[in-house]
Amino acid sequence: MSAKIWGVLAQYENPHTIYKACEQVRDAGYEKWDACTPFPVHGLDKAMGAPPSKLPWVVLTVGLTGSALGLFFEAWAMGSAYPMVVGGKPLFSLPAFVPVWYELTVLSSCVTAFLANWIMNGLPRPHHPAFNSKAFERVTDDKFFIMIEAEDPKFDLEKTKALLSGAGATLVEELEP
């Protein structure tokens, strides 16, 4: 056994078992832990006690800002900087601005969603200690896992292993950094 460990990895066999295990880990007061599943498990984020994501609010804010700036730029360009009467329309003609205005809103929202998702999730992360586990390879196939980091304030190696085993884990192993 290594003196320095990153945390503990526990393997579960089905969605129901990992759901119940996540509730137990949450109720035990752990803060630095995660669950990994081969497919989305309905309600798992609530079982983990995960707070709602801030991503939709970030995307909405930047999308509305991009929309307002796009419309302002179009109005400024056509009304002040380069005034040009086209087909007898007024300098500020909202219907003419809608396609570009809409596309700027969509573009700013999509780019924000992509970049903010990466930033909020700490990506890219080419290596994780769980990748050293042979058992963890099955996370993309048919197994479910919970990882608890050793940096967690409540982490005690033996108590954590006992909690995970008692929650129905079929395998509990230590992860090295």
Give pTM, 2 decimals: 0.76
Residue 11 has pLDDT above 50, yes or no: yes
How far apart are the C-alpha atoms of 59 and 44, rounded to whole Å? 24
- Name the β-bridge partners of 7: 149, 175
E-strand stretches of 24-162: 33-36, 144-149
Residue 113 · residue 59 · CB < 8 Å: yes
* pLDDT at residue number 84: 86
> Please, which pLDDT band fits residue 3 given cuts at 50, 70 and 90?
low
Tokens representing residue 82 in the block: 């380069």
> Please, which pLDDT band fits residue 92 given cuts at 50, 70 and 90?
confident
Tokens representing residue 148 in the block: 């608890």
User: DSSP for 140-156?
Assistant: GTT-EEEEEETTSTT--
Q: Judging by beta carbons within 10 Å of its beta carbon (0-12, 13-18, 19+), is residue 88 exposed, middle or buried?
A: exposed
Percent share of the chain, pLDDT over 70: 98
pLDDT digits (tens, 9 = 90+) for 99-117: 999 999 999 999 999 999 9
Q: What is the mean pLDDT of the chain?
A: 93
How far apart are the C-alpha atoms of 38 and 123, rounded to whole Å? 19
Q: How many CA within 13 A on the CB side of residue 78? A: 16
C-alpha torsion sign, points 60, 62, 65, 67: negative
* pLDDT at residue number 1: 45
How far apart are the C-alpha atoms of 157 and 5, rounded to whole Å? 9
* pLDDT at residue number 26: 97
pLDDT digits (tens, 9 = 90+) for 137-154: 999 999 999 999 999 999
Residue corresponding to tokens 């050793």: 150
Q: Which domains does the chain have, with CATH numbers?
A: 7-52+126-175 (3.30.70), 55-120 (no CATH)
E-strand stretches of the chain: 7-12, 33-36, 144-149, 171-175
